[in-house]
Amino acid sequence: MNGSSIKNVYKEIFKSYNNPSLEKHIEKIIELDTFLPYSSTFFCITNTQTLTFEYISKNMSACLGLDKKDLVRQGMRFFWGRMHPKDLEHWLTALNELMEFTLNNTKIDERRRMSYTWNYRLKNSNQDYVNIVQNTTPLGFDSDFKPIIGLAHYTVLSPEIKLQVCASAKLLNEKNEYETIYFNNFSQKLLSEGLSNRERDIVRLLVLSYTSKQIADKLSISPNTVDTHRRNILKKLNISSTGELIGMLKMHKNFI
């Protein structure tokens, strides 16, 4: 997939009918950058309409060794050009599904409380691919309340860590807790191909809110064996918790 194709798909995902100005409080975010310590993370303010970085934090060069001027001059195209070719299609599919989910499954007043996460591999200045986990919080919206300006936070992880391309959307609920309302693994085959028959049985019972003891009784195995299967399931699917697994399966019932 060449740069022109990526641009066309990306612009279609974030297609908008007006270009709002950046909100005033973004200036405060930029001011904070001066006081942040150097670490393995950096942040940018992204504009999906102009395909530009409105701001790039000082840590970017420390994390990736890239010249900030290149990102400012070439914008998102520069970033796309350094993505791992095998991740590009998964990444674009993830963005598209996140946007469709937001527009079709969330209320307008919820979108200011959303947070999106996805990952991919990016080539640093040493020409090595490193893992990038990107978390973006919307700051600006178009007339249809589609998020188009965001605060993007990037965490750089070792290339030795094998990550599948995943995407999630979280909503800050009334308890001021983030809950996962969307999750998908774009590198993972259907669960029917990735899990054993016994693991699929356990997954189906977990979705029905059975406890490990209840599952053990139903399948005539020990609770310890159930817990071992649960850990293996999470490891195979690169998921951190049973709650996240259940949320994913309830949104994608065809996976089981």
Annotate 189-234 with DSSP letters as a single string.
PPHHHHS-HHHHHHHHHHHTT--HHHHHHHHTS-HHHHHHHHHHHH
Q: Determine the topology of domain 3-185 in CATH.
A: Beta-Lactamase (3.30.450)
Per-residue pLDDT of 193-241, as tens digits, reads: 567 878 878 887 887 788 999 999 989 999 999 999 999 888 887 777 7
Round to whole Å and give the CA distance between 130 and 213. Answer: 41
Let me know: does 70 contact 78? Beta carbons within 8 Å. Answer: yes
Helix axes 242-251, 223-237, angle to 10 degrees: 70
The tally of CA atoms less than 13 A away on the side-chain side of residue 167 is 19
- Regarding pTM above 0.85, the answer is no
Q: Write out the chain's pLDDT in tens, 256 residues.
A: 666 777 777 777 777 766 555 556 677 777 778 777 777 899 999 999 899 999 999 999 999 999 999 999 999 999 999 999 989 888 998 999 899 999 999 999 999 999 999 999 999 999 999 999 999 999 989 888 888 899 999 999 998 888 888 899 999 888 888 888 888 888 764 444 567 878 878 887 887 788 999 999 989 999 999 999 999 888 887 777 777 777 666 555 445 4
Helix axes 197-207, 242-251, angle to 10 degrees: 90
- For the chain, give every domain's residue range: 3-185, 191-255
Q: What is the CATH number of domain 191-255?
A: 1.10.10.10
For residue 144, which phi and psi values (nearest 5 degrees)?
A: -95, 10
